[in-house]
Amino acid sequence: MQPVDQPAFPTELQSQIEQAIVDGKLSVGGIFTTKELATIFSAESLALERVMQAQVRKGLAIQLGDAYQILGIQGKSLDSLFQHTARAGIKPTSQVRAAIIEPASEIVAAKLGLPVRAPVYRLERTRIINDEVLANQVNYIPYEVSPGLEHDDISRYSFQKLLEEHYHTVITDIQEDMRLVPGSLKDLEILGLPAGAQVLVVERLSFSRNRIPVVWASIHIRTDRYHYVAALWPNAAALLPEHDNENPSSSP
């Protein structure tokens, strides 16, 4: 992964507060003012406020005026792609090409409900199913959701599970939009497609229990992998041209 510059975010304070929620020191249902939390954690009010806003985004708390009520860790989440594929007898892996912190563009900011130029992770991966290249995927994640992501190895591990188990962020709802578009030069290179080939684009927005987006994914998929698309995105399979389903193009 590429080296990145860390934004000025109180990650240590966030770690302390999240551990206190996990340990029950900040009890579920408890209501704490910003001043009380700043006293408990010996933190400046501004830093405390930034961290608690992150907890609201991640679904660990809700804001009540100038106070926050602790929700705790959400127990049930949606199945991850790894869980779904395992049941279908499909073995997924990822080749992580980059994990970069960058300012959110207008499009990314609008998708994630962030200010323009707020720090986000751009996580680029090549998705591989049963040793076949399937998709070029880019995830955008607000920095405060997963600080330190660039140090994690998710090549053979569910990114969603990483969010849940390491960053205490549980995905409770997903919205997906799907369409066919001409493949970009990067798509053609990564997916091993000829010039002029189309790709299936699945744009997925993942939400915490507070209905705040925590991940925006843009997944560009080979159209000649119908059997995988039908297993993983059944609603998208009908978009694939019939000739692509029956006559696969060159394999990567």
For residue 108, what is the DSSP state? H
3-state class (DSSP) for residue 156:
coil
- Is the pTM value of this prediction over 0.85? yes
Estimate the crossing angle of helix 11-23 against helix 45-58, to 10 degrees: 60
pLDDT digits (tens, 9 = 90+) for 119-154: 999 999 999 988 899 999 999 999 999 999 988 887
Domain with CATH 3.40.1410.10 in the chain: 81-246
Q: Which CATH architecture best describes the domain 11-70?
A: Orthogonal Bundle (1.10)
pLDDT digits (tens, 9 = 90+) for 35-72: 999 999 999 999 999 999 999 999 999 999 999 999 99
Domain with CATH 1.10.10.10 in the chain: 11-70
Question: Would you call 127 exposed, middle or buried from its count of C-beta atoms within 10 A (0-12, 13-18, 19+)?
Answer: buried
pLDDT digits (tens, 9 = 90+) for 19-36: 999 999 999 999 999 999
Check if the beta carbon of residue 141 is closer than 8 Å to that of residue 149.
yes
Of residues 229 and 243, more confidence is placed in: 229
Residue 248 has pLDDT above 80, yes or no: no
* Bridging pattern class, strands 119-129 and 92-103: antiparallel
Phi, psi for residue 17 in degrees, rounded to 5: -70, -45
Q: Which CATH superfamily is domain 81-246 in?
A: Chorismate lyase-like (3.40.1410.10)
Opening angle at CA 168, ends 217 and 111, nearest 5: 30
Query: What pLDDT is stored for residue 103 in this prediction?
Result: 96
